[in-house]
Structure 1
Amino acid sequence: MILRPVRDTAADAEAVYEVAQAAFHALAVSRGEPVEEPTPESRARELAWYRHLARHSPEGCWLAEEDGRPAGVALSGRREGTWFLALFAVRPEAQGKGVGLMLLEQALQHGRGCLRGMISSSPDPRAARRYRRAGFTLYPVMGLRGPVDRSGLRDPGEIPVHPGGAAHRHLLESVDRLVRGASHGVDHDFLALHSDELLVADTLAGSGYCYRRGGRVTLLAATSRRLAVRLLREALARVPDGVEASVAELTAEQEWAVDVGLEAGLALSNRGYLALRGMRPPSPYVPNGGFL
């Protein structure tokens, strides 16, 4: 078994994809959950995400290989004193051999000296155990999913929401630092490229933003719950007809988001954990599992 850095190449992105698909497919089957088949668009986006992380966080991205075949992967990044684990997966046939422990330890080394750490954990109890032993506090998370009932969304009120763009980068980073202690930095470039729209609210009382791709709210941050509620309602109202909405990674700190989702007729379910070190769950905030 060897560990090596993940390179910003098409071949390494394919190797990471192969491991992730095998690991999460096996997890879904073991839990009796439906397996979502990837689309060409989702596959291309995943590959681009892996390369983005390898390009901007080369010291935090590691691949385990056994007999020349990819066996496990850990992708992590650092942004302004906050470390995050973006992907952690081991092939089913390589599990139980210490591969995951080696990968996680290597990724955690990348976060040494960071004040804060964030991980989006699957429901896999083995992963949760590793994160807890690494000093992370586990916060159970919920998800919202389903078709949007626009009749249930309340009057948006007087807070204006408008499309955002590159000119709002300073606003986005300022909100990030206030809500989660660090900007997402270059990750905003990826999110902008792979989102259908960026919504922005900027008032005298505060600011906020929300990325949406199809029916999924991929990241939301605001300086007040009132602004966050307004942004989430607007994002859900813009989900195309016939497309299922999804809002994930919600802890009890995001009850405001749960309430909005229930207004819109979405179904609530348990998911996994938000594992945090050196911080409490950011709020008002809806994390992105890949960039936290």
Structure 2
Amino acid sequence: MTNPTTGQPAIPADVPAGVMIRPMTPADVPAAEHLSAEAFLEVARAHAPRGAAEPRLRSRARADLWVTRTLRFLESDAAGCWVAEGGGELLGFATSYRRDTTWFLATYAVRPGIQGRGLGKALLATALDHSRGALRGMLSSSDDPRAFRRYRLAGFDLHPQMFLSGEVDRSAVPFVERVREATRGDIDLMNSVDRATRGAAHGSDHEFLFAHHRAIVVDHRTGEGYAYFDDRGVALLAASNRRTATSLLWAALAEAEGETSVPHVTAANQWAIDVGLAAGLSLRTQGYLGVRGMKPPTPYIHHGSLL
């Protein structure tokens, strides 16, 4: 709820004693990155599949990318970014943003060892104030049961996500037509596909994605779409139909060297599972897509924080 006097979000009354919830500042972002890395590492270790490699903290390069992305959220959506502070230390945070009429939760974390005390509930409630008036909401959850319980209580429908990973079987990769390298001149096309699939354009997020990923596009009378990918795998894919989406995913996988991944695949996107399995990748579940006021986008593979 918004404070009618100040116009700012009203801080929930049940904030734990000694804790202050306040707007995030740029100075908070490095500490928030470190806290999120520790929190997500703890969840990854608790839910790692048997026989999987030991989870590790994100690399320095990925940490720097996290900081850059979060500073952008502060520039565009300061009202959706909050921290919890106690004893002079950062205890938790939530970053969220709006694109068109859809609200997105980028990242939400509480310091390991102090979860379950009401801090996360208060943080999320404050960030959700930024969603007032939005027609839709979307988030990507880890496997932490405390987090997805909170999302469900906040009115989000939860859809299990699947994760494809492994080395691509080169003999299985088909010849793909009509896929070309994307340029920033394609951003209007990309935004149009975004609106058709998830109800909101990525807007300025495309500039960030272009700066840190390779991008390919299909612009044809039979279908339109695009994909971003890097040496870790597919970051985001959207298309006007499944045939186009399939072509884009094969084209991205054809560029993979060594271990690659296709994360954030929902049951609405069986075409992506078919491509991944045909390419020799393995499949497992990981986390949930949370949506409110909408169905899981398709044909679409969402980004972890830019969704």
TM-score (norm 2): 0.90
- Residue 41 of structure 2 corresponds to 25
CA contact (8 A) 1:52 1:190 kept: no
Matches within 5 A, 1:106-185: 106-156=126-176, 159-185=177-203
Q: 1:37 aligns with which of 35, 54, 57?
A: 57
Cα deviations across residues 119-138 of structure 1 (Å, max 9, x unaligned)? 10111111111111111111
Q: Is the 8 Å Cα contact of residues 37 and 57 (structure 2) preserved in structure 1?
A: no
Q: What is residue 280 of structure 1 aligned with on the other side? A: 295
Aligned-residue offset at 1:32: 4.6
Structure 2 distance, partners of 1:36, 1:218, is 20
Structure 2 unaligned blocks of 5 or more: 1-18
Report the equivalent of 1:188.
206
Aligned mates of 2:139, 2:297 — CA distance in 1: 13
| Matched residue type, 1:257 | A
Residue 31 of structure 1: how far off its partner (Å)? 2.7
For residues 32-72 of structure 1, give each alpha carbon's deviation from its aligned partner in whole angstroms, at most 9, with x where no partner exists.
56312322211111111111111111110111111110100
Matches of 1:170 and 1:262 in 2, distance apart? 32
Which amino acid in structure 1 is aligned with residue 38 of structure 2? A
Superposed CA deviations along residues 85-127 of structure 1, whole A, max 9, x for unmatched, are 0101101122122110011001111001111100101111111
User: Within 1, Cα distance between the matches of 2:187 and 2:99?
Assistant: 15
- 8 A contact 2:165–2:262 mirrored in 1: yes
CA shift digits 1:200-240 (9 cap, x unpaired): 0000122100001113110000000000000000000011x
Q: How many Å apart are 1:76 and its aligned residue?
A: 0.5
What amino acid sits opposite 2:195 in the alignment?
A: R
Paired with 2:195 and 2:82, the residues of 1 have a C-alpha distance of: 28
Contact 2:84 2:123 in 1 (8 A): yes
* Counterparts of 2:76 and 2:232, CA distance in 1: 28
1:207 aligns with 2:224: yes
Cα separation, 2, equivalents of 1:29 and 1:139: 22
Q: Distance in 2 between matches of 1:83 and 1:169?
A: 21
Cα distance in 2 between the residues matched to 1:32 and 1:208:
33
Structure 2 contact 47–143 (Cα < 8 Å) conserved: no
- Alpha-carbon distance in structure 2 between the residues aligned to 1:256 and 1:36: 31
Q: Please provide the CA RMSD for this pair.
A: 1.2
2:149 maps to amino acid:
R
Indicate yes or no: 2:281 matched with 1:266: yes
Rounded to whole Å, the distance in 2 between the matches of 1:259 and 1:187 is 29
Equivalent residue for 1:221, pick from 238, 251, 271 = 238
Output the CA distance in 2 between the equivalents of 1:80 and 1:102. Answer: 26
- Establish whether residue 68 from structure 1 lines up as the match of residue 88 from structure 2: yes
Letter in 1 for 2:208: F
User: Does the 8 A contact of 2:137 with 2:292 survive in 1?
Assistant: yes
* Kept after mapping to 1: 8 A contact 2:236/2:302: yes
The answer to whether 1:102 aligns with 2:122 is yes
Aligned residues: 285
- Aligned partner of residue 94 in structure 1, secondary structure: coil
Unaligned runs of 5+ in 1: none
Which SS does the other structure have where 2:305 is aligned?
Answer: coil
Q: TM-score, normalised by structure 1?
A: 0.95
Q: Distance in 2 between matches of 1:125 and 1:38?
A: 22
Deviations 1:149-177 (A, max 9, x none): 12112332xx3111111111110111111
